[in-house]
Structure 1
Amino acid sequence: MKTINFKRHKDVKRGTKYLHISSRTESKECITLVRKGFLYKAQISQETEPEQSSPEIFIRKAIDTEKNIEKFSFHVKGTFYMSHARKSIRVDFHHSLNIKIVWKKKVFSPEKSEVLT
């Protein structure tokens, strides 16, 4: 069984927009929870020639053998510039992906050979 939720929040005064998607999937082996988040904050930039920087990427993985839980987290933070009505706009963004797998049995993720066969 799969359940999906979608939320959207926009604040024009602060220049922020947030999208959130969450899903829950239940199978015989495990329960999988997936959360995706997209945050954008826009503001007028005073810089004439903004420098482009690469986004920051954060990856984490954790395994709890006592509770049979695997967690994975992937976050990207950065900035990009765009023009609107002859103005330069700076947009800060933060994208996130969080996955949590709760295994029903004591056996964690199957071995590579089991997946390929």
Structure 2
Amino acid sequence: MDSVEARKFVDGWLAAWNAHDLDALLAHFADDVTFRSPVAAQLLGGDGVIRGKEALRAYWSEGLRRIPDLRFEVVGTYVGVDCLVINYRNQKGGLVNEVLIFAGPLVVDGYGAYLGDDENPAGATR
């Protein structure tokens, strides 16, 4: 992934989230994607591991239902070999990192990483 591809991906990712357009967002993810997030454990119970695009849709749909004012602002983008890290601020001002691993043009693994509760008392929101 080069910086042009990364910028295009991030622009689409951000626009989809801010429009609450799950179809546009999920178009970037493989059918067998795995996504890990402590917020998934909070919202859905379990170990925080989401397996498959339809399960990811269900998780993010629930998040949008609970957080109707969800909005992100990208702070930084970091490009690696077959990976991308998006550092963003959520609607509560909390900083979040999303680590995305690619196989070709699609995300196959993702990780949501948040500040610990001591540093983010409002809790994570995605």
TM-score by length of 1: 0.28
Rg bigger for which structure?
A: 1
More helix, by proportion? 2
TM-score by length of 2: 0.27
